[in-house]
A and B are shown apart, each in its own frame.
Chain A
Amino acid sequence: MTTTESVIGIIKDISPQTKVDASNTGHELFDLGLDSLDHASVLLQIEETFGIKIPDEDSERLITVDAIVRFIGEQDK
């Protein structure tokens, strides 16, 4: 499973109504139906799944799947 697929899976698990898929990974998640509470849950799950820490200053820009995937990739380097 790719990182993108994992991230989409996490979002769909937490917020099934969010219309996110492989075709709209650059779209803002809030426009796709995610709310602020679910966003906090998604970031927590990302932290736990990938064993990383997302600082507050980064959390505000992690609002697309692409941005989240890019951030995870940067932590590996």
Chain B
Amino acid sequence: MIGIGAIGCYVPELRIANRERMQEFEVTEEFLAGKLGFQAVARKAESEQTSDLCVKAVAALKAEPAVAAAPHGLGAIQCLFLCTQNPDGRGLPHTSAIVHEKLGLPAACACLDISLGCSGFVHSLVVARAFMEANGMTSGLLLTADPYSKILDHHDRNTAMIFGDGAAATWLTEIRDGALLAPTRARFHTEGHRHKALQNRDGVLHMDGRAVFNFSATAVPVEINGLLAEAGLGKDAIDLYLLHQGSRYIVDTIRTRLKLDEARVPLALADCGNTVSSSIPMMLQGLVRDAGAKRIVLSGFGVGLAVATCLLERKTSNGKKQ
């Protein structure tokens, strides 16, 4: 069985403080802290490519205690999934192949780009696990890196204070000793007729905030409740709900609609912004290390418009729950 061995993250050092743009965007400090939830957004250097962000996230992954302590580190990587909609160049070749070269990975390694936005980590995690198990693989990488700064209108009030750059590298490995978090059940939901609500139009990101908000506030609670019902679990059986950090407001709205207490629906990334498909693995990083959380629900939502929701459970090598 494949589980999450460790997660490494990379956030560029450069920050743009939203507080310094309050006048330009006509927002108050209360709005920034209480509604947006992002004090600053991270920005990659102009010269940094998406593949560079991935390589730096993998370097962070290699420094994670679980990897550093493993006898062969990450071992021979047999597959590399890269979730992005802002690839190197124009996306041909696929950026995962460029990362493959930069990391010096073996030839016996499948490299695939997955085109998804904020639901990308959850979708890709489920795909990667199934792909690995179907092909008898024991070590793979799932990378998320979607630097929206490439396509932002930096004077657009709807997006400029929200999206930050960053990347995450998730090591997927066969569960041997101990127990790892593994995706055990998932639900997917797509409303393709709403795809124009969030799109790259002639090289610039456009977001219909109301449409994205309405979709997220209505579809995500239904998906999470559906997942719990299918799993035969009550809300209290889940230690944590990690929601994509679209903004503080949307996370709070979904939490309120699900009638969950704040402690089980953490807020994060105030210092770097909404990092698209990397927001969930960035929150998950510490939880993978700490064996405290046994069951976690992940829900990513956005571009598509789409939602992907999955249940992570801590499993041992024989598939038993810990």
Contact = CB atoms under 8 A, between A and B. Distances in A.
Nearest to A59: B210
Nearest to B250: A37
Q: Mostly helix, strand, loop or mixed at chain A's interface?
A: helix
Q: Mostly helix, strand, loop or mixed at chain B's interface?
A: helix
A29 interface: no
B154 interface: no
A35 B209 CA distance: 13
A16 to B, nearest CB: 13
B247 to A, nearest CB: 8
Contacts of B213: 37, 40-41, 44
B210 A56 contact: yes
The bracket for how many chain B residues form the interface is 10 to 19
B40 to A, nearest CB: 19
Interface residues of A, number: 9
Interface string B32-62: 0001000000000000000000000000000
A35 B31 contact: yes
B31 A40 contact: no
A20 B214 CA distance: 24
A43 interface: yes
B190 interface: no
A41 B210 contact: no
Interface in B204-257: 208-211, 213-214, 217-218, 247, 249, 253
Contact of B214 (A35, A36, A44): A44
Given A35-B31, A37-B35, A44-B217, 12 more contacts: A35-B35, A40-B209, A40-B210, A41-B217, A41-B253, A43-B210, A44-B213, A44-B214, A44-B218, A56-B210, A56-B211, A59-B210
